Amino acid sequence: MDIEKVRNYCLKKKETTEGFPFGEDVLVFKVKKKMFCLANLTPPYTINLKCDPEAAVELREKYAAVTPGYHMNKTYWNTINLDGSIPDKEILSWIDHSYELIVAALSKKEQLFLKKKSL
């Protein structure tokens, strides 16, 4: 998977914005001002995604390309090396999971707004 495919997929999600709050080398995707994906734009290409703590450990054990989140809370974030060793379908599902975790932590009002936006 390449960074452009990650970018296009993230931007299809409701209320997603992108920006460079940490400098020009890290593209950050947010929903309602909360980060759900960070993409390193310099080699080695990686993304950071939020993950359920138990699933995060399982993924690290299953895939060598998944490590504790670089510069993130390692309990909740994984760094995924986009080296081609993980099927795109898996990575896309992890992006979905990260987005859903962030949405679930939003206020009820913000969640309702996102639901109405999809109708």
Place of tokens 């409701």: 14
Cα–Cα nearest to 111, from 48, 78, 100, 2:
100
pLDDT for 115: 80
pLDDT for 112: 85
CA of 42: how far to CAs of 26, 52, 68, in Å?
8, 27, 19
Domain ranges of the chain: 3-113
For the chain of 119 residues, list the mean pLDDT of each consecutive stretch of 10.
96 96 96 96 96 96 96 94 97 97 92 75
In CATH, 3-113 is 3.90.1150.30: yes
Distance CA 49, CA 112 (A): 24
**Residue 111 buriedness (CB in 10 A; 0-12 / 13-18 / 19+):** middle
